[in-house]
Amino acid sequence: MGKRKKSSRKPTGPRKREPLESSFTCLFCHHDKSVTVRIDRKEGIAQLFCKVCDQRYQSKVNHLTEPIDIYSEWIDAADAAERDATVTRRPVASSKFSCNVNEYQSRLSFRPPNAIEQREGGEIVVAFDENLQTVQMRSAQLGSGPEKDGFTFDRVFPPGTKQPEVFDYGVKDIVKDVLDGYNGTIFAYGQTGSGKTFTMMGADIDSPELKGLIPASLNKSSSQLWNPMRTWNIL
């Protein structure tokens, strides 16, 4: 058996204790190290506060509690508060197995008559209520069927409605929800030639007046992606 090699390492004294981190990133304003935790062991309490946005949190401590524990507690407390607040909201996109539809809106859009229809003497057969929610079939108004009172939607867009108006009515809110992590769907239903492509894609994606809901939604979301006031979490 060979001789045991003598360690060349000098013996070290007791390891110096690193000072524990006591400033952290703020959950609310997201500033780095803006949150400070002060522990008062005599009083048995810890105070956390953000010097940027003035968020505060207080908790009890024992002799083992470190600032990071208070910071974690604060995160948990904020999470719990957020959960309580979101119970009534829609499920987030990341909850894969839930597909509740808690909100939907139906809109009905009418396109103006096209050249062929005009040439052939076509007539407009519907009438719109002033509230832009009900549409009546003129021929049914004298009848007695359930269609006599017309059909009601969340919103009716008569011929000539400009694309931005359609986008502003609810579509931009769906884009905002998607950016906030919720699911959102817009779909167009209608017979061939009724204007689905015009509504969704538009006649000219470079024209604010003529671009459809898809380019308008993408413009809106890409402008938000570069918004310096927002923070994004990549999951």
Which residue stretch of 3-11, 25-33, 67-75, 156-164 sits at the interface with Zn ion (rule: CB under 5 A)? 25-33
- Whether 150 and 134 have beta carbons less than 8 Å apart is answered as yes
166 counts as binding Zn ion under rule CB under 5 A: no
Ramachandran quadrant class, 7 (left: phi over 0; alpha: psi -120 to 50; beta: rest): beta
78 counts as binding Zn ion under rule CB under 5 A: no
- Distance linking the first and last C-alpha atoms of the chain: 56
In whole angstroms, the minimum distance from the beta carbon of 56 to Zn ion comes to 10
50 counts as binding Zn ion under rule CB under 5 A: yes
135 counts as binding Zn ion under rule CB under 5 A: no
186 counts as binding Zn ion under rule CB under 5 A: no
**What is the spatial distance between Cα 32 and Cα 94, in angstroms, rounded to a whole number?**
26
In whole angstroms, the minimum distance from the beta carbon of 162 to Zn ion comes to 42
28 counts as binding Zn ion under rule CB under 5 A: yes
52 counts as binding Zn ion under rule CB under 5 A: yes
53 counts as binding Zn ion under rule CB under 5 A: yes
| Cβ neighbours for 24, distance < 8 A, ≥ 6 positions apart | 33, 35, 37, 67, 68, 71
Q: Which residues pair with 127 in a beta bridge?
A: 136
48 counts as binding Zn ion under rule CB under 5 A: no
Known binding residue 150? Answer is no
Known binding residue 105? Answer is no
Closest C-alpha among 201, 218, 112 to residue 158: 112
Q: Residues 29, 93, 137, 140: which binds Zn ion (CB under 5 A)?
A: 29
Closest C-alpha among 115, 141, 111 to residue 124: 111
Known binding residue 86? Answer is no
Residue positions forming the annotated binding site for ATP: 190-197
Binding site for Zn ion (CB under 5 A): 26, 28-29, 50, 52-53
